[in-house]
Amino acid sequence: MSEKYLVGLDGSECGERAVAAALHQAQVSQGSVVLSYVIPWSPFTFSTAEENALRHKRREEELARAAELLLIPEQQRFEAVGISCEIVARHGHPAKTLVQLAREYEVSMIVVGVIGDTPLKSRFLGGTASTLIQIATCPVLVVP
């Protein structure tokens, strides 16, 4: 069975290094990759009736934009060197959603950058990488 890697993208420089690490791992193992982008989303936000009516449409637009601007260009980069690559964008808690995706796609390893787009927030709240290493059901490669 070949290796499959789940990469959590966030558009940061550190996230780009995670992509490069996953690309290398997939080349060495002749494996495949699932590129993912998780849009933080809480089901517990308080909204007006008008906002609720537009919520689903806004979510779908955000997912499509993430695929277009971030996931598809990276997918093309992997496929250009012969690595099979799937893409997925979801809303949710980043670490929990990545763990769920790892199960769904039956990956061998999750690859993420150590610092995302908000380092100060990560110091106070724990960050996606540190949460992942605590809750993941498969190995996690955290790239500096």
Delimit the domains of the chain by residue range.
Answer: 4-143
Task: Tell me the per-residue pLDDT of 53-94, one tens digit each, with 9 for 90 and over.
Answer: 787 788 889 999 999 999 999 999 999 999 999 999 999 999
* CATH no., domain 4-143: 3.40.50.620
Q: Report the interhelical angle of 94-104 vs 127-135 (nearest 10°).
A: 50
Percentages of the chain per state (helix, strand, coil), in multiples of 5: 55, 20, 25
Task: Tell me the per-residue pLDDT of 86-137, one tens digit each, with 9 for 90 and over.
Answer: 999 999 999 999 999 999 999 999 999 987 555 444 444 458 888 999 999 9
